[in-house]
Amino acid sequence: MKTLLHILAITALAIAPALADKTVKAGPRKGRVLELTGQNAEFFVEKDRTISIAFYDAAMKAQPAAAQTVTATAEAPGGKAKIEFEKKGNLLVSKAPLPEGEGYQVVVQVKTTADAKSKNFRIPLALHTCKGCSNPEYACICDE
């Protein structure tokens, strides 16, 4: 039994740094950066509650939306709502606003190309502004 507890303790210590490395990064528009292979996307909730996604290269230089596809699911208290996106200028913008309220998860799926595997991101939706970094709370970069 002691051996099993030691193994569990060592495993927890080994896994903890990997789990803790989920540091939130903010983009140029003060949205949440979604790190992709070779590029980044910035998740930003507009004043009308639509979501806009901007793309950047690895050096955070703006890139036009091209072959990328994005879908999202708002896991709101009233039920799940699928959110689709369309290209508007250099951004992908949701066709409909987020459901009312906050405090729920938004699951974002991004594919960098049509044949790429999608990467999922779970974003806790908190729209108030952080007093420490002045970003929306979903993109807060404070250590607190």
Taking CA atoms, 110 is separated from 15, 70, 78, 135, 139, in Å, by 26, 5, 24, 23, 18
pLDDT given at position 23: 87
Residues 64 and 90: their CA atoms lie apart, in Å, by 4
Domain annotation covers residue 3: no
Domain annotation covers residue 4: no
Domain annotation covers residue 13: no
Domain annotation covers residue 144: no
Residues 28 and 61: their CA atoms lie apart, in Å, by 10
What range does the domain containing 58 cover? 22-139
Q: Which two tokens stand for residue 116?
A: 């790429």
Split into its structural domains, the chain has a count of 1
Phi-psi region of 49 (alpha: psi -120 to 50; beta: other; left: phi over 0): left
Q: Render pLDDT for 109-130 as a digit per residue (tens, 0 to 9).
A: 999 988 889 999 999 999 999 9
Q: Render pLDDT for 4-61 as a digit per residue (tens, 0 to 9).
A: 444 444 444 444 334 434 589 999 999 999 999 889 999 999 999 999 999 999 899 9
Q: Render pLDDT for 49-106 as a digit per residue (tens, 0 to 9).
A: 999 999 999 899 999 998 899 999 999 999 999 999 999 999 999 999 999 999 999 9
Query: Residue 73's closest CA among 84, 57, 87?
Result: 84
pLDDT given at position 143: 75
Residues 81 and 33: their CA atoms lie apart, in Å, by 22
Domain annotation covers residue 1: no
Give me the CATH number covering residue 93: 2.60.40
Domain annotation covers residue 16: no
Beta bridge partners, 67, equal none
pLDDT given at position 114: 84
pLDDT given at position 11: 45
pLDDT given at position 70: 95
Domain annotation covers residue 94: yes
pLDDT given at position 2: 55
Domain annotation covers residue 8: no
